[in-house]
C-alpha cells in the first residue's frame, strides 16, 4: 500500500509537471471516445430497432380456401403445432380479421364498413420460435391441402438479418480501430514523459529499483488520464443522447416498433464501457511506452 501511495503521488506529480502534453492526451482520448460513444449509441439503437422489426416477421399467415371446413382447419392446426420451431398456431375467422383491420385503420375504419362483403379469408396464424425456423415451416405448410396462400416475407427478413450482421461487423471493426488509436495516443504522450526522465530512470535502475517500481507511476498516470477522459466523454455523449431522446423519441416511436433505448440504461452502460476502455487504454499505452526503456 505504501508503494502504491508513492506511485500514485508520483503519477499526479508527473501529470502536473507535463500539463501541456497531459491536456493534449486528454483531449485526444476524449475526442476518440466521443466518436466511439456516438457510434455506440447509433449501433445499439439500430440493433434494438432491428430486433423490434424482426418481431413483426415472427408470424406466418396461412390463407384458407373458402371451402375449407372447420374440421379440416382443426386437423391442419394439430399438424402445424407438431412442426419443429412452431410456438403457437391459431385459427382466425374472417370476421375477426376484419375487426383487426378496423382497429388498425382507426378513424378511417368506416371505409371498411362500406364494402358489400368481407373480402378477407379465414386463416391460420403461426408464430415461430425463431426466424431461422420460418423458411422450413413455410415449406411444410405449403404442401397441405385446403390452402390458398401462405403469406410470409422471407426476402424482407433475410435482408433485415443481413443488414443487422453487417452493422455488427462494421461496428466491431471501427471500435477496434478507435481503441488502437487511443492506445497509440496515450503511448506517445507518456513516452515523451519517459524520455524527459530517461536519465532519472537509468539512475533508479542502477541503484536496484525493480521494473515495476519504475513502471508504477507511469502506469497510474495513463490510467488516471484514461479515466478522466472516460468521465468527460460519458457526460458529453450522455448529454447528446438525452437531447436526442427528448426531442426525437416520440416521433421515432410513431414510425418504428421500438423507440430509443431508455436513457438511464444507455448512459449507465456507456459510463461502464468508457471507464473500462479508458483505464485499459491508459494502462496499455503506458506499458507500451515503457517497454523499450526497461528492456535495455
Q: Are residues 201 and 215 in the same domain?
A: yes
Report CA Rg, the chain.
30
Report the alpha-carbon distance of residue 246 to residue 248 in Å, rounded.
6
CB 54 within 8 A of CB 157: yes
The pLDDT, as a whole number, for residue 275 is 87
**pLDDT over 70 (residue 104):** no
Task: Output the domain CATH number for residue 127.
Answer: 3.30.70.3040
The pLDDT, as a whole number, for residue 175 is 76
**pLDDT over 60 (residue 51):** yes
Q: Are residues 50 and 169 in the same domain?
A: yes
**pLDDT over 60 (residue 164):** yes
CB 89 within 8 A of CB 126: yes
Among 37-41, 45-49, 115-119, name the most confident range. 37-41
The pLDDT, as a whole number, for residue 196 is 64
Q: Are residues 37 and 166 in the same domain?
A: yes
Q: Are residues 124 and 166 in the same domain?
A: no
The pLDDT, as a whole number, for residue 68 is 86
How would DSSP label each residue in 57-126?
Answer: TSEEEEEEPTT--HHHHHHHHHHHHTSTTEEEEEEE-HHHHHHHHHHHHGGGGHHHHTSSS--PPPEEEE
Q: Are residues 180 and 95 in the same domain?
A: no
Residues contacting residue 37 through CB under 8 Å, at least 6 positions apart: 233, 234, 236, 237, 270, 274
**pLDDT over 50 (residue 130):** yes
Cell of 68: 375449407
Q: Are residues 43 and 62 in the same domain?
A: no
Report the alpha-carbon distance of residue 135 to residue 153 in Å, rounded.
10
Report the alpha-carbon distance of residue 286 to residue 104 in Å, rounded.
60
Residues contacting residue 238 through CB under 8 Å, at least 6 positions apart: 267, 270, 271
Q: Are residues 215 and 91 in the same domain?
A: no
The pLDDT, as a whole number, for residue 56 is 63
The pLDDT, as a whole number, for residue 2 is 45
CB 120 within 8 A of CB 149: no
The pLDDT, as a whole number, for residue 1 is 47
Number of domains the chain contains? 2
Does residue 14 or residue 234 have the better pLDDT?
Answer: 234
Q: What is the DSSP letter of 149?
A: E
Which of 152, 176, 211 is the C-terminal boundary of a domain? Answer: 152
Q: Are residues 29 and 162 in the same domain?
A: yes
Largest CA distance in the chain: 101
Domain extent for 16: 2-54+158-294
pLDDT in tens, 243-293: 887 777 655 554 555 667 788 888 888 888 888 888 887 777 777 766 665
Which of 121, 152, 183 is the C-terminal boundary of a domain? Answer: 152
Q: At what angle do helices 154-196 and 131-142 cross, to 10 degrees?
A: 170
Dihedral of alpha carbons 262, 264, 266, 267, sign: positive
The pLDDT, as a whole number, for residue 162 is 80
Q: Are residues 103 and 224 in the same domain?
A: no
Q: Are residues 80 and 223 in the same domain?
A: no
Which of 102, 125, 152 is the C-terminal boundary of a domain? Answer: 152
Q: Are residues 199 and 241 in the same domain?
A: yes
Q: Are residues 68 and 118 in the same domain?
A: yes
Report the percent of the chain where pLDDT is more than 90: 2
Amino acid at each position: 500500500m505504501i508503494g502504491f501511495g508513492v506511485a500514485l503521488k508520483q503519477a499526479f506529480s508527473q501529470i502536473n509537471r507535463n500539463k501541456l502534453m497531459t491536456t493534449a492526451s486528454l483531449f485526444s482520448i476524449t475526442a476518440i471516445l466521443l466518436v466511439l460513444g456516438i457510434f455506440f449509441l447509433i449501433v445499439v439503437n439500430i440493433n434494438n430497432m432491428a430486433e423490434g422489426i424482426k418481431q413483426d416477421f415472427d408470424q406466418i399467415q396461412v390463407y384458407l380456401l373458402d371451402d375449407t371446413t372447420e374440421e379440416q382447419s382443426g386437423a391442419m392446426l394439430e399438424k402445424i403445432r407438431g412442426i419443429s420451431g412452431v410456438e403457437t398456431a391459431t385459427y382466425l375467422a374472417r370476421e375477426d380479421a376484419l375487426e383487426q383491420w378496423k382497429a388498425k385503420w382507426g378513424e378511417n375504419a368506416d371505409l371498411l364498413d362500406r364494402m358489400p362483403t368481407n373480402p378477407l379469408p379465414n386463416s391460420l396464424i403461426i408464430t415461430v420460435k425463431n426466424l431461422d425456423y420460418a423458411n422450413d415451416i413455410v415449406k411444410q405448410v405449403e404442401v397441405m391441402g385446403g390452402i390458398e396462400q401462405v403469406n410470409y416475407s422471407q426476402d424482407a427478413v433475410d435482408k433485415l438479418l443481413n443488414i443487422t450482421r453487417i452493422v455488427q461487423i462494421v461496428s466491431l471493426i471501427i471500435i477496434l480501430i478507435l481503441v488502437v488509436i487511443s492506445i497509440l495516443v496515450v503511448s506517445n504522450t507518456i513516452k515523451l514523459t519517459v524520455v524527459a526522465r530517461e536519465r532519472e530512470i537509468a539512475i533508479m535502475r542502477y541503484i536496484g529499483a525493480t521494473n515495476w517500481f519504475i513502471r508504477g507511476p507511469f502506469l497510474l498516470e495513463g490510467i488516471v488520464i484514461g479515466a478522466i477522459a472516460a468521465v468527460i466523454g460519458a457526460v458529453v455523449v450522455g448529454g447528446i443522447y438525452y437531447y436526442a431522446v427528448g426531442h426525437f423519441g416520440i416521433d421515432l416511436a410513431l414510425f418504428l416498433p421500438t423507440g430509443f433505448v431508455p436513457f438511464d440504461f444507455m448512459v449507465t452502460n456507456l459510463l461502464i464501457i468508457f471507464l473500462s476502455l479508458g483505464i485499459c487504454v491508459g494502462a496499455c499505452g503506458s506499458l507500451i511506452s515503457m517497454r523499450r526503456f526497461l528492456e535495455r
